[in-house]
Amino acid sequence: MASLSRRHLIRSTVALAAASALPVPAWARGASLSRAQNGSGELSGEDIELSIGDHHFMTGTRSGHAVAVNGSVPGPLIRLREGQNVRLNVTNNLAEDSSIHWHGLLVPFQFDGVPGVSFPGIRPGERFTYEFPIRQSGTYWWHSHSGLQEQAGHYGPIVVESADPDPRYDRDYVVLLSEFTPIHPHEIMRKLKVGEHYFNYQMQTATEGEMSGAMRRMWGQMRMNPRDISDVTGSTYTFLINGHGPADDLQFAFRAGERVRLRIINGSAMTFFNVRIPGVPMTVIAADGQDVAEVEVDEFQIGVAETYDVIVSPPDGSHAIVAEAMDRSGMGVASLTSHKGHRASPPPLREPVTLTMADMGMMDHGGMAGMEGMDHSMRDTSKLPADVKVGPGLDMVSPMPMDRMDFPGLGLDTVKHRVLRYTDLKAKRMNPHREVDREMRIHLTGNMERYMWSFDGKKFTAVTDDPIRFGFDERVRVTLVNDTMMAHPIHLHGHFFELVNGADHMHQPLKHTVIVQPGGTATFDLTANEPGDWAFHCHLLYHMHAGMMQVVTVRPFSAGDGA
Amino acid sequence: MIRAMLLAGAVLLPAPLAAQDHSGHGSRSEPAPEMDHCAMGHLPPEQCGKQEESEPAPAMDDGMAGMDHGSHGAMNDKSAPEDAVPARALEGPRHAADAIWGREAMEPARRELARGNGGMTTGMVLVERLEARIPTDGGETGYLWDAQAWYGGDLNRFVLKTEGEGEFGGAVEDAEIQALYSRAIGPFFDLQAGVRFDPEPDSRTHLVLGVAGLAPYMFHVDGALFLSDRGDLTARVEAEYDQKITQRLILQPRIEAEFAAQDIPEREIGAGVTKVEPGLRLRYEIAREFAPYIGVEYEAKLGETADIARAGGEDPDGFKVLLGVRAWF
């Protein structure tokens, strides 16, 4: 370990020296050379060198192993220009295979970075070059797609500058949300598998929770836990903003009167965040890197792997940027301040969230009269289509799954101020007009007690040779039906799909990741116009690791297409 | 027998479905979810454009009408159903990456991908009860262990169970070890089959067939039939419930009952219900993995087995105070 530290010390020093030659943004502050930096510099140009290595990471009172890129967690901000070509040279200094997936970038499939789908992976000691043109602008991110390395720190932001300058802001900051845990990710997975709600210290107890006895018995009868909001919580996670925990005092500077663009990226493994800056309204200008019509909100929930760009015009003073974990077991905090050194005090954590009937896929509104005498069966498998496998891996079938695009996210349906909903998003630019060629429904299935997760009741291991097949340029309307009580952020590689969210069909917002709310449905229209093989999965890292993944193929494909 | 016990248990459970309070359902503040016909795909895209300008879709408060989600295929006359995959989508190659990087390079990565996305095997060791048992009416303080370990995937597992007791300073009185193959037979239950070996009180082997899992209302149950190498059929059922008092303080009612299909004189067992042990344990989870507890248990031999005990000058029932630890790793 000693020699390892020394080697990394040298490398970190070099990295820092290289970084200091560039204008270092505020998000990159806070370095200690004996360990991985919390936050890092940025890289740009046509040739970019990235190096993956083992490091030690500290934040607050927690410390442990990290997989860092160029010696920092998160790894460097990669800043590109729309229309340029880029060669990303990635050296793997780990003892195991690694990879980088460019989340949200439109790339030839063989450079998408998913070992076993797009390429063989990067072996220990190997240097792999990704090369592709930059066809878009916006806020994206990159992360490992090998094992559970992403949890350990192997991720970073991407900003692609538009060819057209945007005059709407004076300052531009990346706000990358993530988590740090001292527990090895494989051990987290094992603890989830053996059950016992290991990380949940917000369960209903005899002394806690307002649910009536009758309702508690109903949940118990179904063997479901109404406080099952997040699988992994603040009991082991320190929530990070740009690699800084709440104790690390990250500050973003502004001058009174300035308009500040915040590029908020949820680069966490398992945590949905509620993002707000108390007292400062936020104007959402982009979702998943794609421009949307401006909409002003006071708070929004960001699912794992999503990004939102907002513009704020904070009044003089210090304001807390609060990224509260959806289950309210902790928060990431930074200060947006016009007084250097001043620290904004964040509001306290709000009360834990309790699931409701709507999250079971039951209607939940005033007209309950019709439901008297209704069978409360939460696993009526006759409601499932034939292609859903019914087995131990499926513990629930939503009785009446409804479109929940208008749901602001667990715990945000009862707050008083303005909260972003998917139904608020409208693409800024017009999408091509397309008729739907085919419709499909994919069920999100799972078993909380066994910690099994899958699509259509089949883990990835059962469908390795049974991909979801699309014809090139086929327009497919995909409805995701959530037969579980967890919110799943579903990500399709290589494409942007359009959310069927009530916006007129030429202005359906483009996204790469969509949250499917518990017990509900979400629908998107996809034009499958990127040939090759692509990963399609739940972006909750341990759900994917449990099998909630499938390969999507777009054909015809010829080797010449991608290159 | 086990099934009968489980059923009986289910009948005794609190709050049958019919008695559930539905009045709470209407009291929540969340607005009624709106039925967006565009979002639901009920309307072709052309009409969605118009709808955008007009009124929002009406709230869906007319009961169950229109809730048939099975008919989505019919929503858009022009669109094909899910299984109408166009012919071009079935064109090769089977794996696009093979055409770029070669099949040889991709195969190991594909195997690794499957292993890392659903193919995980893992395991745990759980010491459910490790306790000292102090009789309230005097007598020797005893000890008891009850542990299990498993290793495997989501559905198929190898399970070891061991249980036994004795008195401090004395010999082990009862001990058994089971080696079982466990197969998930539903979302909440495993079927377990294998062998049980008892080194004490006399060396004996059984075939085991059991069911373990999570019953409605969150009762953990474990029931098994045992057929001994001498042809004796016995059974055992355990059920327990974890009531959280706080996030770390947990009260666990637990009941265990044993049955015999015939007299087993050499083990002083009579046919029928042979033993019942209801108990209450209060544990504090210093960590999830380590929880010391205190408890009380009533232990009673019943029926003919009790008669045999009395005839031997032994008290067939009594209370015990428990001090122990629950742990896993």
Facing residues of A57 across strands?
Answer: A64
| Identity of residue A310 | V
Mean pLDDT across the stretch B148-167?
97
Structure confidence at residue A35 (pLDDT): 66
Res. B28: pLDDT tops 50: no
CB-closest option in A97, A117, A214 to B20: A214
| Identity of residue A140 | Y
Res. B285: pLDDT tops 50: yes
Closest to A36 measured CA to CA, from A52, A58, A20:
A58
Res. A365: pLDDT tops 50: no
- List the single range of A194-203, A353-362, B56-65, B197-206 with lowest mean pLDDT: B56-65
pLDDT in tens, B209-243: 999 999 999 999 999 999 999 999 999 999 999 99
pLDDT in tens, A273-287: 999 999 999 999 999
For residue A77, CA distances in Å to A12, A107, A259, B126 come to 16, 18, 22, 45
Q: Which residue has the higher pLDDT, B27 or A328?
A: A328
Contact: A449, B187; criterion CB under 8 Å: yes
Q: Determine the residue among B54, B61, B154 to mutate to test chain A binding: the one whose Cβ has the most chain A Cβ atoms within 10 Å.
A: B154
Centroid of chain to Cα A193: 22
Q: Which residue has the higher pLDDT, A543 or B50?
A: A543
Structure confidence at residue B151 (pLDDT): 97
Q: How many residues does chain A have?
A: 563
Structure confidence at residue A463 (pLDDT): 94
Give A166: exposed, middle or buried? Use CB within 10 Å, 0-12, 13-18, 19+.
Answer: middle
Structure confidence at residue A164 (pLDDT): 87
pTM reported for the whole predicted model: 0.87
Contact: A358, B33; criterion CB under 8 Å: yes
Domains of chain A from N-terminus onward: 2-162 (2.60.40.420), 422-562 (2.60.40.420)
**Helix residue ranges, H only, B13-118:** 45-53, 96-101, 103-115
Mean pLDDT across the stretch B138-162?
96
Contact: A440, B82; criterion CB under 8 Å: yes
Chain A residue with CA closest to B153: the answer is A193
Q: Which residue has the higher pLDDT, B22 or B247?
A: B247
Structure confidence at residue B306 (pLDDT): 94
Contact: B244, A205; criterion CB under 8 Å: yes
Res. A18: pLDDT tops 70: no
Quote the CA–CA distance of A551 and A544 in Å, as a whole number.
Answer: 12
Query: Looking at this predicted complex, what is its ipTM?
Result: 0.88
Quote the CA–CA distance of A38 and A78 in Å, as a whole number.
Answer: 16
Contact: B184, A392; criterion CB under 8 Å: yes
Q: Are strands A260-266 and A171-180 parallel, antiparallel or unpaired?
A: parallel
How many CB atoms sit inside 10 A of residue B128's CB? 21
How near does any CA of chain B get to the CA of A46, in Å?
23
pLDDT in tens, A24-62: 333 344 433 236 778 778 999 999 999 999 999 999 999
For residue A556, is the peptide bond before it cis, meaning its omega torsion is within 30 degrees of 0? yes
Structure confidence at residue A375 (pLDDT): 53
How near does any CA of chain A get to the CA of B192, in Å?
15
CB-closest option in B67, B79, B114 to A460: B114
- 3-state secondary structure (DSSP) of residue A20: helix
Res. B14: pLDDT tops 80: no
Mean pLDDT across the stretch B140-160?
96
How sure is the predictor about B50, in pLDDT bands with cuts at 50, 70 and 90? very low
Mean pLDDT across the stretch A341-367?
84
How sure is the predictor about B18, in pLDDT bands with cuts at 50, 70 and 90? very low
Structure confidence at residue B11 (pLDDT): 39
Contact: A555, B30; criterion CB under 8 Å: no
How near does any CA of chain B get to the CA of A428, in Å?
15
For residue A357, CA distances in Å to A166, A372, A376, A487, B22 come to 44, 14, 11, 14, 11
For the CA atoms of B178, B180, B184, B185, what is the dihedral angle to 10 degrees? Answer: -90
Structure confidence at residue A40 (pLDDT): 72
For residue A2, CA distances in Å to A8, A10, A56, A388, B311 come to 10, 13, 12, 52, 72
Structure confidence at residue A196 (pLDDT): 75
Mean pLDDT across the stretch A531-546?
98
Structure confidence at residue A38 (pLDDT): 81
Res. A562: pLDDT tops 60: no
- List the single range of A42-51, A210-219, A503-512, B35-44 with lowest mean pLDDT: B35-44
Q: Are strands B272-284 and B219-228 parallel, antiparallel or unpaired?
A: unpaired
Res. B120: pLDDT tops 80: yes
Structure confidence at residue A367 (pLDDT): 41
Residue percentage of chain A with pLDDT more than 90: 82
**Is the Cα torsion angle B38, B42, B48, B53 positive or negative in sign?**
negative
Domains of chain B from N-terminus onward: 123-328 (2.40.160.40)
Q: Which residues of B touch A532 (CB under 8 A)?
A: 96-97
pLDDT in tens, A399-439: 999 999 999 999 999 999 999 999 999 999 999 999 999 99
Closest to A90 measured CA to CA, from A54, A121, A134:
A121
Quote the CA–CA distance of A202 and A352 in Å, as a whole number.
Answer: 7
Quote the CA–CA distance of B273 and A17 in Å, as a whole number.
Answer: 78
Structure confidence at residue A61 (pLDDT): 92
Structure confidence at residue B231 (pLDDT): 94
Structure confidence at residue A557 (pLDDT): 86
Q: Determine the residue among A211, A445, A504 to mutate to test chain B binding: the one whose Cβ has the most chain B Cβ atoms within 10 Å.
A: A504
Res. A220: pLDDT tops 50: yes
Q: Which residues of A touch B97 (CB under 8 A)?
A: 109-110, 117-120, 532-533
Mean pLDDT across the stretch A456-481?
96
Structure confidence at residue A39 (pLDDT): 77
- List the single range of A17-26, A104-113, B249-258 with lowest mean pLDDT: A17-26
Q: Which residues of B touch A469 (CB under 8 A)?
A: 85, 89-90
Res. A10: pLDDT tops 90: no
Q: Which residue has the higher pLDDT, A369 or A230?
A: A230
Structure confidence at residue B12 (pLDDT): 40
How sure is the predictor about B37, in pLDDT bands with cuts at 50, 70 and 90? very low
Structure confidence at residue A9 (pLDDT): 38
pLDDT in tens, A480-514: 999 999 999 999 999 999 999 999 989 999 999 99
Mean pLDDT across the stretch B134-161?
95
Question: Two tokens at B78?
Answer: 């022009």
Q: Which residues of A touch B85 (CB under 8 A)?
A: 438, 469, 471
Residue percentage of chain A with pLDDT more than 70: 90
Mean pLDDT across the stretch A452-464?
96
**Is the Cα torsion angle A357, A361, A367, A372 positive or negative in sign?**
negative
- Residue partners of A132: CB distance under 8 A and separation at least 6: A85, A86, A105, A107, A108, A111
Res. B203: pLDDT tops 50: yes
Res. B9: pLDDT tops 80: no
- List the single range of A197-211, B42-56, B75-89 with lowest mean pLDDT: B42-56
How sure is the predictor about A357, in pLDDT bands with cuts at 50, 70 and 90? confident
